[in-house]
Structure 1
Amino acid sequence: MKIGALAAPKTYSAEPIPSGVLPEIERLLATGDLFRYTAEADAAVSLLERDFAEHMGTRYALAVSSCSAALFLSLKALDLPRGARVLIPAFTFAAVPSAVVHADCVPVLVEVKDNYRIDLEDFSKKLVDADAVMISHMRGHTSDMDHILREADIAGIPVIEDAAHSLGTLWSGRKIGTLGKIGCFSFQSYKLVNGGEGGMLITDDPEIAARAVIMSGAYEENWKKHPGFQNSFCNWQNRLPLYNLRMQNLSAVVIRAQLPEIERRVRDGRRNHDYVAKILNDSGYFSVPDALPQEERAPDSIQFNFVGAWSDEAARQFQSIAKENRVSVQVFGLSQGNARAYWNWQFLDDLPELPQTRNMLMRACDVRLPAQLSTEELDYIAENLIQAASLTRTKK
């Protein structure tokens, strides 16, 4: 296929919201019934929580305003002391260390290897002085959870899973987000389920769930509208601060309508990723890291590294040529102000030197591959990336 034979794929577009939600949206607009606690029972947010918990196979689910809110509430619900040290991967989105800071804790950055997963030796070394672990499955790449959970369990340290990019991913047949003490998910527009914004916290621990519910904004006795653990609520009412991080009903209706689409989107996203990965790996210009043996991925994007020695200038030129051909690719460490490059987290004190992570980010590339793309659109993306690399290397 000739490059330019069809319009450039819209990799930042989303699938239409299922039309079946329109009557409920119209009802909400007509009644103004947007607040999750107005109804005595079966509010849209409550139904979403029920269905999401059932989908994930967990006891409790709490819908909130964002995944960042879920991460923050997770740390607060664990009742960590002020200044607690929380291990996070050095390759994640800036919202993750931000949530740690908001919770009055200290982020401790762990080195990440060129397969985008944490360095287990550095993890084990830093775990000695940690109070909690927050593992970001960044861009859907799962670090070795067997090792992480085993080491954390021996140390008696809770694990929070930031599964913002991993809804639908399996680890040895278990759903990512259910492996640790708490799992957190995102419904921001670029995620598998699109609510514009929104997040979810899941756990099997009634005390953690109760604390998170109250702090999310279940003021007075609104906690009674969360079934299943009233005794725990009674222990915490009026004893915890309210952060008002609730989800509202309109978002819940939009999100809930997409839950039946998860399996299909996961299947299509994996197909797209693996199709493009083979083309890129065969090109000789790029290397796409393999999944770990225990990992069944649910990708909506693809990450790859340059093969051979590439200068910063060459990597930038590749990025620019691809953009001219209307393929949006970013080299994490070379994209101005990128929120995934840890040295840009200047709100942190004493940013560490992390040479392994820095080297990876300076040559790791990122392209969105939403599930709805056709084979022709995937070919367009892959061929333009290869052409951009070829032109760059020719000019070298």
Structure 2
Amino acid sequence: GEVSEVAALEAEFAAAMGAKYALAVASGGYAIATALRALGVGPGDRVLTNAFTLAPVPGAIASVGAAPVFVEVTDRLVIDLDDLAAKAGQADVLLISHMRGHICDMDRLMQICDGAGIRVVEDCAHTMGAAWNGVKSGRHGAMAAYSTQTYKHLNSGEGGLLISDDAELMARAVLLSGSYMLYERHGAAPGPEAFEGLKLDVPNISGRMDNLRAAILRPQLAELEARAQAWNARYRALEAGLAGVPGLTLIERPAEEDYVMSSFQFLLPGWPAAAVRDVVARCAARGVELKWFGGDAPAGFTSRYDHWRYVDPAPLPRTDRVLRAILDLRLPLTFTLEDCALIARIIGDEVAAVQRRVSPG
């Protein structure tokens, strides 16, 4: 019969990521929760995850009845691998969020997790097409989830994708997503034998992607590599424009990290909260919208681990210090390189002006 847009997208996305299997679903958060369910995570379980992330990540953990165990983050905005090693005995699953496109040393992360018997789910909402040490983001763990929400590398307004090389895990995911007994119609699912022992035992928690969104995504997927180059050119233009601004720290990017940056982050380390808020307000007055992760309350998409009251986190002093310093800017492809250079000048001017007032002389 006719191949649906969703089935075609699944096959094309699996090929693009180098995975055996792919599943298209309703959202990135649903993809994460489906991965956790496929791995058997349930009520009373604990899941390790980095503390610098967005609300759908701990939300996915909570949706399966489990509890997040937050791991500290570093000045590179990635998971603190020493803290991960120290907490490795607290859970059997790590949900690693490659927050804002920053990838940790995945070789060491997998060494820690493999040694401790921890299975890894990658949240690649911000790293579609990126890589660490030549291995695509999403290809290290047992499963990987991606988002196609409005601000992501592929945009269908809302949507998600899930990949794996494990036939049983993906068969569970397909059934969970609401395939009924039509699992053979999926474009990149395991063969029917993988479903035989599962199809009557795995609940249907409907969350499949629709054909309209898949049709929107397929042409974009073909342009992903070109888009990545365009995003990175804008990122580097901002980076060059902000290099050397006193009081402002750029994020270190290791040679092993092949990033795809649709946003930009920098730090104002050690700055008083009032001074950071002043920078945000002054930039906004000149048309540059910055988000700050150090606020007392969530704002827009921006929140932090201690805002989520359904979690009872242990103190994370290193993460608190980093979050108080982070400022964040979206980099849509509608920005030209000249726009990025202008934005960098505005940010640099306002950071310098506030710093002179805070530290006169």
**TM-score normalised by structure 2 residue count:** 0.95
> C-alpha displacement at 1:372, in angstroms?
3.7
Is 2:176 the partner of 1:247?
A: no
Is 2:160 the partner of 1:196?
A: no
Task: For residues 290-339 of structure 1, give each alpha carbon's deviation from its aligned partner in whole angstroms, at most 9, with x where no partner exists.
Answer: 212311110011100115x4211111101100000010001211274144
**d(CA) in 2 for partners of 1:376 and 1:270?**
14
Report 1:129-168 matches (<5 A). Answer: 129-168=90-129
* 2:228 equivalent in structure 1: 266
> C-alpha displacement at 1:81, in angstroms?
4.8
Is 2:301 the partner of 1:341?
A: no
**d(CA) in 1 for partners of 2:225 and 2:337?**
19
**d(CA) in 2 for partners of 1:336 and 1:376?**
34
Amino acid aligned to 2:197: N
Q: Which runs of 5+ in 2 are unaligned?
A: none
Report 1:1-396 matches (<5 A). Answer: 40-219=1-180, 221-226=181-186, 228-306=190-268, 309-334=270-295, 336-338=297-299, 339-348=302-311, 350-396=312-358
> C-alpha displacement at 1:212, in angstroms?
0.3
> C-alpha displacement at 1:82, in angstroms?
3.0
**d(CA) in 2 for partners of 1:283 and 1:106?**
41
SS in 1 for 2:24: strand
SS in 2 for 1:88: strand
**d(CA) in 2 for partners of 1:388 and 1:290?**
22
> C-alpha displacement at 1:343, in angstroms?
1.0
> C-alpha displacement at 1:116, in angstroms?
0.3
Cα 1:173/1:257, change in 2 over 3 Å: same
Q: Once superposed, which parts of structure 1, at least 4 consecutive aligned residues long, lie more than 3 Å away? A: none
**d(CA) in 2 for partners of 1:126 and 1:41?**
49
Identity over aligned pairs, percent:
36
SS in 2 for 1:134: strand
**d(CA) in 2 for partners of 1:264 and 1:122?**
37
Q: Is 1:68–1:95's contact at 8 Å kept on the other side of the alignment?
A: yes
Task: For residues 327-382 of structure 1, give each alpha carbon's deviation from its aligned partner in whole angstroms, at most 9, with x where no partner exists.
Answer: 0001211274144311111122x222111111111111101112342122112211
> C-alpha displacement at 1:285, in angstroms?
3.3
Number of aligned positions between the proteins: 354
Amino acid aligned to 2:304: A
**d(CA) in 2 for partners of 1:299 and 1:168?**
10
Amino acid aligned to 1:306: L
Q: Is 1:285–1:386's contact at 8 Å kept on the other side of the alignment?
A: no
> C-alpha displacement at 1:196, in angstroms?
0.3
**d(CA) in 2 for partners of 1:278 and 1:239?**
55
Give the root-mean-square deviation of aligned CA atoms.
Answer: 1.4
**d(CA) in 1 for partners of 2:296 and 2:42?**
36
**d(CA) in 1 for partners of 2:123 and 2:296?**
24
Q: Which runs of 5+ in 1 are unaligned?
A: 1-39
SS in 2 for 1:214: helix
**d(CA) in 1 for partners of 2:146 and 2:328?**
21
Q: Is 1:77–1:211's contact at 8 Å kept on the other side of the alignment?
A: yes
